[in-house]
Amino acid sequence: MTWRDEAACRGANPEIFFLGYGPGRGLGRLSKTAKARALELCDRCPVVDVCLEYALSLPATGDFGIWGGTTEKQRVGLRKARRQHQPPRSGRTLQEAASM
C-alpha cells in the first residue's frame, strides 16, 4: 500500500487536476471550477503533505496540475522559497570543517 492508495482523489476524474489529461492531448489551463473541485478534495486528503513533497521532488519543467493542495504557480513559489532558505555551500567537506 502506498500514499496514493489513501488519496482523497483516488478514482476522481483526472481532468479536474490536469486539464488535457490523456495521451496526445495538449496541456491547457484548468477552469476555476475544476481547480476549486480539485483543491476541495485536497483539503480533506489525509496524504496532502506527502503528495506536496512528491510534487516538489519532480523536475519543475514536468510539474503541472494540482498536487498537494497547490497550483503550479504556488509550487514555483515554494521551490523558490526553499532555494532561498538553503544554507550556502562553503565548498568544504564535513571532515575539513570539523578539523578547523
Binding residues for ligand SF4 (CB under 6 A):
7-9, 17, 41-42, 45, 47-48, 51, 66-69
Nearer to ligand SF4 by C-beta: 34 or 42? 42
Task: Give the integer Cα–Cα distance in Å for 91 and 97.
Answer: 10
Strand partners, 70: 67
| Closer Cβ to ligand SF4, 12 or 76, answer by number | 12
Nearer to ligand SF4, 71 or 79 (CB): 71
Supply φ then ψ for residue 49, to 5 degrees: -70, -40
CB of 95 to ligand SF4, least distance (A): 41
The DSSP letter of residue 88 is P
